[in-house]
Structure 1
Amino acid sequence: MDGSSELNITVPTEDEMRARARALVPLLREKSDEGERLRRVPDAVMAAMKDAGLFRILQPKRWGGYEMHPNVYYDVLMTLGEGDMSAAWCYGVIGCHPWQMALFDDRAQADVWGRDTSVLVSSTYMIQGDARPVEGGYIFNGRWRFSSGCEHCDWIFLGGEVGRGSGNMDMRTFLLPRSDYEIVDTWDTLGLRGTGSHDIVVKDAFVPEYRTHLFMDGVMCNSPGNAVNTHGLYRMPFPQVFIRAVSTSSIGGLQAMLDAFVNYAAKRTTVTGAKTAEDGTAQLLCAETASAIDEMKLVLHRNINVMYDVACAGGFTEMSDRFKFRYQSAEVPERCANLAQRLFKAGGGAAVFNKLPFARILSDLHTGRAHAANQADSIGRNWGGVMLGLENTDYWI
């Protein structure tokens, strides 16, 4: 069934979507401890995000989505991060997938959304899968780590290569239903404990050709789904859209850290009788952090606007911009974790107690910065090397 044959869905305004996310922040804070214990996003939180329509922001209208400007999605992601970074992280990853689903062959879109347009897809893009060509598709095998929110999803995107190890560089995203893979409980971590980012195992699953998406099609902004999903939104570079799904929640986490610090430090008196509010170091740190948050938001919006406007005009984002935008996304978690570390230190001995949110937020930020897409040093070195005349070694741009 084509989504266009369903009952018309009323598309909210962009401001309404931002307001819905803001309204969920208290729930995310309330349920954050439960998520830590369960090592997954609590069902009530996932249901609330679905009921608010947050996962439809980047979904095509012909499949019941809102097809909104991607900055709405990133704004929602940052806001959720103020409540709980684990829930925001899962939203960032899973909420990006309706956008990539729109790039697949329309038959794959129908497989996922044909009966229920609220179905969610998880992922792990590590190129761990080995695809052996057979008639009509591939026999697929592999084991992957870090599938955030997988327990809440009915389908999955998995990174793989046709003839892995052969050197043919035929890298793809493979789409599989829940019956074709096993979730292995492995997620016991320092931070982002509530993401439930478990391992995935696939053994001899058949994946039809049409349920694969060539990596280079996403890079070159020319995918099978563009034939039916014609909005410029779906001609943005795939890597550039996804990398911000795993960096942007850090901005919300840092905002939560700053808000908690301001509320705590404004009334804090140290054991020596000094008032933190009168400490020049603490004062300057608050200003630096607030300014950095503002700057990172502005750069995020600017970069997305550039790529979105180019795509809507039928153009192709310049590679020089992609290198810059890639680095600016990767450095966000690094900057956020470093500033949060300083706030944590300024909080004194009381900051280590779990009754305050400082330790949890700091752990979440440090865990988020470990993602492969957030390795700012190596990504920056590659960009700098390209500027100096060396060959590019990073194709996730």
Structure 2
Amino acid sequence: MIHNKDLHGSRGEFPLLSEARRLAPLLASKAESNEAAGKVSDESIAAMRDAGFFSLMVQKSAGGMEANPVELLSVVEAVCNIDAATGWVMMAANVATTSAAAFLPDTTYEALFKGARPIIAGAGAPTGKAEVEGGGFRLTGRWAYGSGCLNSDYIHAGAMIYENGAPRLIPGTSIPESRIFIFPTKDAQMLGNWDVIGLRATGSVDYAATDLYVPADFTHSASEIVGKRGGDSYRIGVVGFSAIGHTGFALGHGRRVLDQLASLVTAPSDGRPSTLSELAGSDAFKQEFAVAEAKLRAARALAYEAWNDITETTSRSEPVATRQFTLARLALCHATTVMMENSLFAHRVSGGVGLRAGALQRSLRDTLAATQHLVVSDKSLRDCGRDLLGMAEGMKWTPRGLAAAG
């Protein structure tokens, strides 16, 4: 069994965990100004890029960290514990960057990754339309929730494939084909509409492309599982990359919320009346805080159990079973629910402290924004239930839920 306290076995701690501690003062100090700017600061991005945070699963031969799934989870958790928005941008960009490193053709991989650490970000939902043209495609579309795009070098965008004016089907099936398109960020129109309650510093704007030619070698299938390179960890596919990222967010940010609340209980008063000062000594508050702590630790244990199991499977070069992905998605949904419940608890007991602008208020708003993501929707839980009840025969997990295999 692989334990998250010893991620590299005899080699000790995964290097980026110590790098996260080193960069924590810088990343935390930028949180408020990042929110005002609507993006993570260039200084933070540069420091994280140089350390390797945006190439967590990219192959070592191309300058990446080649992390396994448990290592990836631990690093996302650590950075999201420092600052929610910074961690969200990092984990979202890693999904797109890792997908490109795993699934693009060899020539494109060499061009993008050898000698560079590109940041690729965007939305994989196939809301674009790509007409076949020569050795590539003519891409037009608009995509929503492009987390990290404002800090990126390249855009990752999903689109349906059309040929001769009609949807092209995946060979041997009746399923319309979709692909992921990679193109320079400068070729996208950023629409600047990230006017939201939380995670404001992620800059998750809508973006668009109009009649943009993208060579076929800068595209890859949206449903691949086994990477063209990079070893067995890529066997989790995009569905796994995404689930790990959001699980790490829920665990890291959930930990921060409880730690903030605990620190406020013992912090000196600024002269204003505070509900916390009255609650801190009560038996009811102590009991509720203990329950919140237990829920978070239980959620974390479930998540690491699921991903340790998947990591062991991939290390044997075996495919990840549908039930293993189900347990990972269940762990993600549970961790997100616990994060939300504990955030609401912190808001309720903090009184005016949590109401006013500050770290705890921002944490609550970031929580509320994170819970709206598709991967933690009620549908995801229903799909987990379908498999756990033995009703998912012939189905597989995709980033949007269970779907017919084949």
Q: Which amino acid aligns with 2:145?
A: F
Is the 2:55–2:97 Cα contact (8 Å) retained in structure 1?
yes
Match of 1:182 in 2: 189
CA deviation digits over 1:333-377, x for unaligned, max 9? 2220111101111112222111x42111010011011111121x2
Match of 1:6 in 2: none
Match of 2:224 in 1: 217
Q: Does 2:285 correspond to 1:278?
A: no
Is the 1:130–1:162 Cα contact (8 Å) retained in structure 2?
yes
Per-residue deviation, 1:213: 1.6
Identify unmatched segments of 5+ residues in structure 1: 1-11
Cα distance in 1 for partners of 2:209, 2:275 equals 59
Match of 2:112 in 1: 112
Cα distance in 2 for partners of 1:15, 1:59 equals 15
Match of 1:379 in 2: 380
Q: Report the secondary structure of 1:56's partner residue.
A: coil
CA deviation digits over 1:81-131, x for unaligned, max 9? 2221010100111133332122221122123224x4122111111210111
Match of 2:211 in 1: 204
Match of 1:251 in 2: 251
Match of 2:372 in 1: 370
Match of 2:62 in 1: 63
Match of 1:265 in 2: 265
Cα distance in 2 for partners of 1:272, 1:159 equals 48
Cα distance in 2 for partners of 1:202, 1:284 equals 53
Per-residue deviation, 1:268: 7.4
CA deviation digits over 1:9-39, x for unaligned, max 9? xxx9744310110222222221111011100
Q: Does 2:157 correspond to 1:150?
A: no
Cα distance in 2 for partners of 1:170, 1:274 equals 59
Distance verdict in 2 for CA 1:53–1:217, change over 3 Å: closer
Match of 1:336 in 2: 339
Q: Does 2:104 correspond to 1:140?
A: no
Q: Report the secondary structure of 2:71's partner residue.
A: helix
Q: Which amino acid aligns with 1:378?
A: K
Is the 1:158–1:173 Cα contact (8 Å) retained in structure 2?
yes
Cα distance in 2 for partners of 1:343, 1:34 equals 24
Match of 1:89 in 2: 88
Q: Does 2:34 correspond to 1:35?
A: yes
Pick which of 84-93 and 232-241 moved more: 232-241
Q: Which amino acid aligns with 1:147?
A: G
Distance verdict in 2 for CA 1:179–1:262, change over 3 Å: closer
Per-residue deviation, 1:158: 0.7
Q: Report the secondary structure of 1:381's partner residue.
A: helix
Match of 2:361 in 1: 359
Tell me the TM-score normalised to structure 2 length. Answer: 0.85
Cα distance in 2 for partners of 1:250, 1:322 equals 17
Is the 2:93–2:121 Cα contact (8 Å) retained in structure 1?
yes
Q: Report the secondary structure of 1:48's partner residue.
A: helix
Per-residue deviation, 1:394: 6.0
Q: Which amino acid aligns with 1:287?
A: A
Match of 1:3 in 2: none
Cα distance in 1 for partners of 2:33, 2:267 equals 29
Cα distance in 1 for partners of 2:72, 2:389 equals 35
Q: Report the secondary structure of 1:321's partner residue.
A: helix
Cα distance in 2 for partners of 1:65, 1:113 equals 9
Q: Which amino acid aligns with 1:232?
A: D
Pick which of 321-330 and 37-46 moved more: 321-330
Cα distance in 2 for partners of 1:271, 1:308 equals 46
Is the 2:79–2:87 Cα contact (8 Å) retained in structure 1?
yes
Cα distance in 2 for partners of 1:273, 1:14 equals 37
Find 1:325's aligned residue among 322, 325, 328: 328
Match of 1:46 in 2: 45
Match of 1:295 in 2: 298
Per-residue deviation, 1:387: 4.2
Q: Which amino acid aligns with 1:35?
A: N
Cα distance in 2 for partners of 1:128, 1:343 equals 38
Identify unmatched segments of 5+ residues in structure 2: 1-10, 169-173, 402-406
Is the 1:333–1:374 Cα contact (8 Å) retained in structure 2?
yes
Per-residue deviation, 1:386: 4.0
Match of 2:6 in 1: none
Distance verdict in 2 for CA 1:341–1:180, change over 3 Å: same
Q: Report the secondary structure of 1:126's partner residue.
A: strand
Is the 1:266–1:276 Cα contact (8 Å) retained in structure 2?
no
Cα distance in 1 for partners of 2:275, 2:138 equals 68
Cα distance in 2 for partners of 1:394, 1:310 equals 17
Cα distance in 2 for partners of 1:361, 1:106 equals 42
Cα distance in 2 for partners of 1:393, 1:101 equals 22
Is the 1:122–1:153 Cα contact (8 Å) retained in structure 2?
yes
RMSD: 2.4
CA deviation digits over 1:123-143, x for unaligned, max 9? 111210111112212111100
Distance verdict in 2 for CA 1:143–1:110, change over 3 Å: same
Per-residue deviation, 1:313: 1.2
Q: Report the secondary structure of 2:131's partner residue.
A: strand
Cα distance in 1 for partners of 2:98, 2:277 equals 52
Cα distance in 2 for partners of 1:96, 1:394 equals 16
